[in-house]
Amino acid sequence: MVERLYYSDSFVRSFTAQVTDIRELSRTDGQSVWQIALDRTAFYPTSGGQPHDLGVLRASSRSGSVLEVSVLAVEEDEHGEVWHQTMKPLLAGTEIEGEIDWQRRLDHMQQHSGQHLLSAVFARELNARTVSFHLGETSSTIDLTVETLGSDSLERVERIANELIAEDRNTGIRSVPRAEADALLAKGILAKLPEREGAIRLIEIADYDLNACGGTHVCSTGQIGGLLLRGVERVRQGVRVEFVCGLRAVAAARQDFTTLTRSASLLSASRAEVPAGVERLLAETKSGAKERLKLKEELALYHAARLAVEELIVDHLRIVRRVFPDRDVEYGKLLASRLTASVPQTVALFALTHQDPALLVLARSGDMEFHAGNVLKQALSELGLRGGGSVDMAQCQVPRNQTEALMDSLTEQMRGMMAKLQL
C-alpha cells in the first residue's frame, strides 16, 4: 500500500518514489490518459472537501535525459490506492522524483486549517455544528446546523478566529487506535468519526479543537494567516457560511479596496462616504423619475390638444393617424388616452416605430359605438397577425414594413362602419 508522506508531514514538497502500477483510462477524444500508482507520495488526492494537488513526476533515463510528466489530477480508489493522472505513461519500476505545486498546496492548507478553526469557533460560541465543507477555487464554505446567523454573531466569530490565529497555537497531527478514537467520540471530545477501521488520524489545535481528518494542515494557527467571512446564505439543512483564509483573504481585501476606491472616485467622495453617496443618487433617481412622469403627462395633454385641432371630423369621425419614430410605448399610450378622453367622435391610430416590430395603438372616444379590440383583431387577421384589447384601447406588435398597410386597413374599416351607421 502507498505511503502517504503528507500524513505525517504536510510540508514535504518533493520526494523520490518508484512507479508500482499504471493503467490507461479510455477517453472519448481519442487521447490516452494514464493513472500512475507510486510506492510513496506527497500528492494529496481529492477527499474530505479538499481538492487534489498538482505537480510533476520526473524520470531520468540512462542517457541522462529527463522525462517530465504533469500530474493533472490525483484520486484515491476504494482500496486506498492513490492514482496520479498524467498524459504520458511511466513504466512500473521507474524511479521518479515528484514535486507538488507548492503555492496551490499551501493555499489549500491555509483554507483547510482555517476551516477547522472556524468550525470550532462556531461550535463553541454558537453551538453551531458543521455538517459539510467545500474548498472552492476562490472561496470556501461550511454548512452549519443553525436557523439564522446575525451579523453580530458573525463579527464575533470572525474576531475570535483571528485572535486564535494571532495566538499562533500549535496544530499537531497524531494517530490513535480506533478504540481510543471511539472513546473520545463517546466523551464528546470528537464530533464525528469516519466509518473505516484501523488507526484514526487526528488534527489538534492546541487547547481548542480535536478533529478526525485526513487532510493537509499548517503547523500552527499563525500560518493560516487571517480569516475573513465573506457571506451567509440559507440552505436546505441550515446556513452556508463563505470564508477565505491567508493569501486569499489578502487578495479578497485588495479586490474590495479597488472596487470601493473606484466607486468613491466615481462619486467624487471618500471611501467612507460611498454608502451615503449611493443613497443620495438613488433618491435623486427616484425624484427625477417622478418629475419626468409629471412632465410627460403635461406634455401629453398639450400634444393631445394640438392633434385634436389638426384633424377635422368627417362623417362623424375624426381619425388622428400618426407615426412616431422616436416616442416610447408608455408615451404613445398616454397620448392616445389623453386625446380620446379630451374630444368626442375621435380615434387615435398611432404607430410607434422606434423598434421593429413596431407597436400599433388604437384608442377611441367613449361616445364611439365600436369595440377597439375587435376592430384591431379583424384588421390583423387580414394580415395574418394577432392582437386585441379592450373596448376603449387596443394594441399589437406589427412588423415595421406592414405598419402602413395595417393603418390603411383600420382606417377603411372604421370609415365603413361609420357609413353603415349613417344609413
Q: Which is nearer to Zn ion, 51 or 215 (CB)?
A: 215
Does position 246 interact with Zn ion (CB under 5 A)? The reply is no
What's the closest the beta carbon of residue 134 comes to Zn ion, in angstroms?
Answer: 12
What's the closest the beta carbon of residue 217 comes to Zn ion, in angstroms?
Answer: 8
End-to-end CA distance of the chain: 104
Q: Which is nearer to Zn ion, 213 or 376 (CB)?
A: 213
Q: Which is nearer to Zn ion, 41 or 130 (CB)?
A: 130
Q: Which is nearer to Zn ion, 145 or 261 (CB)?
A: 145
Q: Which is nearer to Zn ion, 213 or 372 (CB)?
A: 213
Report yes or no: 117 and 167 within 8 Å, Cβ to Cβ.
Answer: no
Q: How far is CA 139 from CA 58, 118, 191, 252, in A?
A: 32, 14, 25, 9
What's the closest the beta carbon of residue 238 comes to Zn ion, in angstroms?
Answer: 19
Long-range contacts made by residues 333-338, C-beta under 8 angstroms, separation at least 24?
A: 333/361, 333/363, 333/393, 333/395, 334/296, 334/297, 334/300, 335/300, 335/303, 335/304, 335/307, 336/361, 336/362, 336/363, 336/393, 337/363, 337/392, 337/393, 338/300, 338/301, 338/303, 338/304
What's the closest the beta carbon of residue 212 comes to Zn ion, in angstroms?
Answer: 8
What's the closest the beta carbon of residue 165 comes to Zn ion, in angstroms?
Answer: 17
Q: Which is nearer to Zn ion, 157 or 213 (CB)?
A: 213
What's the closest the beta carbon of residue 330 comes to Zn ion, in angstroms?
Answer: 58
Residue 228 Cα to chain centre, angstroms: 19
Which amino acid, 50? Q
Contact flags string 187-226 toward Zn ion, x per CB under 5 A: --------------------------x-x-----------
What's the closest the beta carbon of residue 112 comes to Zn ion, in angstroms?
Answer: 6
Angle value at C-alpha 357, between 413 and 298, nearest 5 degrees: 80
Greatest pairwise CA separation for the chain in angstroms: 112
| CA–CA distance, 355 with 283 (Å, rounded to integer) | 31
Inter-axis angle of helices 403-422 and 372-382, nearest 10: 130
Q: How many residues bind Zn ion (CB under 5 A)?
A: 2
| CA–CA distance, 293 with 296 (Å, rounded to integer) | 5
Q: Which is nearer to Zn ion, 215 or 238 (CB)?
A: 215
Which amino acid, 10? S
- What is the number of the residue whose Cβ is closest to Zn ion? 213
Binding interface with Zn ion (CB under 5 A) = 213, 215
